[in-house]
Chain A
Amino acid sequence: MRMSQAKTTVKQPKMKMVTIYVMGKKYEVPEGLTILKALEYVGYRLIRGVGCRAGFCGACATVYRFKDDYKLYTGLACQTTVKDGMYLVMIPFVPAKKPVYDIEKLKPDASTVISIFPELTRCVACNTCTKSCPQEIQVMDAVQEILRGNLEKAAHMVFDCIACGICSMRCPAEIVHYHVFQLVRRLYGKYIAKKSKHLEDKLKALEEGAFKEELDKLVTAGPSVWKRLYESREIEK
């Protein structure tokens, strides 16, 4: 069943075309499409390798080269525009089963992280991970910070990680960075960041019934009362 095409994917006739190679096969596609839209344009109905289509979920990790250029480039298919001569493949999956742990039983320090991910110490500081990251994260530096126990700094450094897995595919030490980083961020959020006093107080008030009477009344009050309250409420600047 055909879907109504959104304005975005229908292009005007007489457009400039570029040549791309999808897993070795040559195709002509309109200039200005993202790799993802180009794949669909040439006929791929994708199941793997598509997620949010907006750069948040890491589903569309793509690896590519250009003619006469040995360098290997990486990017997200949904956010990268096709260029003439692009020679690409999408990585549909990164094999890396996550180790299971009970966060309640962990301590927020380097030795905890290393005991769950001992391969982390194999890092040879080659920086391939940083070069592969489509989110501009200083991946190797973050690994180093974790090794010496600066979990707070590392958690902030790796916040923008979308777990696309390109770093882990290329790492010679076979570290799965995004699993390590997920643990570090949770350890920071749970144990190192301070807990909110405001929230505690308000929750206590709620459990003690401070809002019960008013809410009981509101629930049965009806649209005209709600309208009055809504239109007369004071808005914080």
Chain B
Amino acid sequence: MKKMRKIMYYPGCTIKTYGQRYEKTAIAVAKALGFELVELPRWNCCGVVYGLSEDSVFHHIAPTRNLIRAQEFSRELGTNDLTTLCSMCYHVLKRVNDYLRSNPEALEKLNKFMDDEEDYEGGINVVHYLTILRDDIGFDKISEKVRRRLNGAKVACYYGCMLVKPRETGIDDPEDPLIMDELMESLGAEAIDYPFKTECCGAYHIVSDKEIVKKRAVKIIKAALDRGAEIIATTCPLCHYNLEKGMEMAGKELRRKVLLVYFTELLAFALGLDDSLEKNVLKELKRLIGGEK
């Protein structure tokens, strides 16, 4: 029995409160594919967008502290790889990590301030879950393990903006990313191309100005629907929340509703990991795609 490869896993606040189904399926899929997501102990909020303001060293503390946690944990687990599911968390952690690696002054300042922690040495690799699937496992290997082919289901992959921009940080081409599309094709679905797959969902405007989110959701979903999409797959709990809420608010503006899932839920469905799926999601997927394994 080959020993499971372990990877450090950073959940982030939204996954734990709103995106539990994303995490559950991601962990189950990982296990089925031979790697184990081990949650980082004592992680703190990634700092969200504040972590990006380059001239505010203070706002880099939160993500850097997580990298230090990963550094501590890496010695126990024997790996330097830190993965995450949430696009926002990925973006912040990767971007700050790259910044610190290339800016020894900033790194020194932060290390000096955080005198309650060990110094961060820059050795952690922040790698998105999708990248692991493509590069470490391989989509063809995943395809072999599929128990339920997705029967040409029409899936529109929604990337959002944080996952692929800027070019240095993103996991794929910022204008025309294809990584999720390729994954869907390997599961037997038909990946629908549509113009707004990297359009911002409205992010935190959902708190202050819901109208913006509604408009964007309508634009994105309508474009996908017009090209025949039955399912929209996302990679971020915030995007999922916004599209869901936007769809609700839009009501009759959209001629029909579309099923919003996390890409890991489609993966879990394809691999036959029914226990990890929420009952109503499983039911919907069976209805749209077909049931038996």
Residue ranges of A at the interface with B (Cβ–Cβ < 8 Å):
110, 123-127, 130-131, 140-141, 144, 147-149, 172
Q: A124-B50, A124-B58 are in contact. Are A130 and B44 (CB under 8 A)?
A: no
Q: Name 21 interchain pairs, CB-CB below 8 A, sorted by A.
A: A110-B17, A124-B61, A125-B44, A125-B45, A125-B61, A125-B62, A125-B65, A126-B58, A127-B114, A127-B116, A131-B116, A140-B44, A141-B42, A144-B45, A147-B13, A147-B45, A148-B13, A148-B16, A148-B45, A149-B17, A172-B58
Residues of chain A lying within 8 A (CB to CB) of residue B59: 124
CB distance from A141 to the nearest CB of B (A): 6
B47 within 8 A of A: yes
Cα A140 to Cα B114 in complex, Å, equals 13
Which residues of A have CB within 8 Å of B17?
110, 148-149
- Which residues of B are at the interface with A, using a C-beta cutoff of 8 A? 13, 16-17, 42-45, 47, 50, 58-59, 61-62, 65, 113-114, 116
Q: Which residues of A contact B65 (CB under 8 A)?
A: 125, 127
- CA–CA, A149 and B17, complex, Å: 7
- Shortest beta-carbon distance, B14 to chain A, in Å? 9
Contact partners of A124 in chain B: CB under 8 A: 47, 50, 58-59, 61-62
Known: A125-B65, A148-B13. A141 touches B44 (CB 8 A): yes
Give the complex CA separation of A172 and B42 in angstroms: 21
Min distance, Cβ B232 to any Cβ of chain A, angstroms: 26
User: How far does the alpha carbon of A149 sit from the alpha carbon of B65 in the complex, in Å?
Assistant: 21
Give the residues in chain B near A172, CB-CB below 8 Å.
Answer: 58
Q: Could you tell me the distance between the alpha carbons of A89 and B94 in the complex, rounded to whole angstroms?
A: 43
- Taking the closest CB of chain A, its distance from the CB of B247, in whole angstroms, is 21
Closest to B47 in A: A124
Give the A-B contact count at a CB cut-off of 8 A. 40
Distance between Cα atoms of A150 and B1 in the complex (Å): 36
Find out whether the CB atom of B61 lies under 8 angstroms from the CB atom of A126. yes
Q: Which of A125, A126, A141, A149 has the most CB atoms of chain B within a 10 A radius of its CB?
A: A125
A138 to B: closest C-beta gap in Å: 9
Contacts of B61 in A (CB 8 A): 124-127
Identify the closest chain B residue to A111 (Cβ): B17
Given A124-B59, A125-B47, A144-B45, output 13 extra A-B contacts at Cβ < 8 Å: A124-B47, A125-B45, A125-B61, A125-B62, A125-B65, A126-B58, A126-B62, A126-B113, A130-B116, A131-B116, A144-B43, A147-B13, A148-B45
Query: Which residues on the A side are within 8 Å of B116 (C-beta)?
Result: 127, 130-131
Chain A residues with CB under 8 Å of B43's CB are 144
Q: How far is the CA of A174 from the CA of B216 in the complex (A)?
A: 34
Residues of chain A lying within 8 A (CB to CB) of residue B45: 123, 125, 144, 147-148
Q: Which 8 A-B pairs have the closest CB atoms?
A: A125-B62, A125-B44, A148-B16, A144-B44, A148-B13, A126-B61, A125-B65, A149-B17
Q: Closest chain A residue to B16 by CB distance?
A: A148
Closest to B46 in A: A125
What residue in chain B is nearest A150 (Cβ atoms)? B16
- The distance from the CB of A187 to the nearest CB of chain B, in whole angstroms, is 16
Nearest Cβ distance between residue A208 and chain B, in whole angstroms? Answer: 45
Shortest B290–chain A CB gap in Å is 37
- Nearest to B66 among chain A residues (CB) is A125
Q: What is the CB-to-nearest-CB distance from A72 to chain B, in angstroms, rounded to a whole number?
A: 12
Inter-chain CA distance A147–B43, complex, in Å, is 12
- Complex: how many Å from CA A140 to CA B66? 13
Give the chain A neighbours of B114 by CB distance below 8 A: 127
* Residue among B42, B44, B47 facing the most chain A CB atoms (10 A cut-off): B44
A130 to chain B, nearest CB (A): 7
Q: Across the interface, do B58 and A149 meet the contact criterion of CB distance under 8 Å?
A: no
- Provide the residues of chain A in CB contact with B13, threshold 8 Å: 147-148
Docked pose: A172 CA to B59 CA in angstroms: 11
On chain B, the residues within 8 Å of A147 by CB distance are 13, 45
Q: Chain B contacts of A131 at CB under 8 A?
A: 116
Alpha-carbon distance between A127 and B113 when the two chains are bound, in angstroms:
10
> Which residues from chain A contact B47 at a C-beta distance below 8 Å?
124-125
Residues of A within 8 A of B16 (CB): 148-149
| A27–B263 alpha-carbon span in the complex (Å) | 69
Q: How far is the CB of B53 from chain A (nearest CB, A)?
A: 11
Minimum distance in angstroms from A114 CB to a CB of chain B: 10
Task: Provide the bound-state CA to CA distance between A109 and B251, in Å.
Answer: 29
- Bound complex: CA of A106 vs CA of B47, how far in Å? 27
- Specify which chain B residues have a CB less than 8 angstroms from the CB of A127 in the assembled complex: 61, 65, 114, 116
Contacts of A144 in B (CB 8 A): 43-45
Distance in angstroms between the alpha carbons of A125 and B59 in the assembled complex: 9
A134 to chain B, nearest CB (A): 16
Residues of B within 8 A of A148 (CB): 13, 16-17, 45
Bound together, the chains give a CA A131 to CA B62 distance in angstroms of: 16
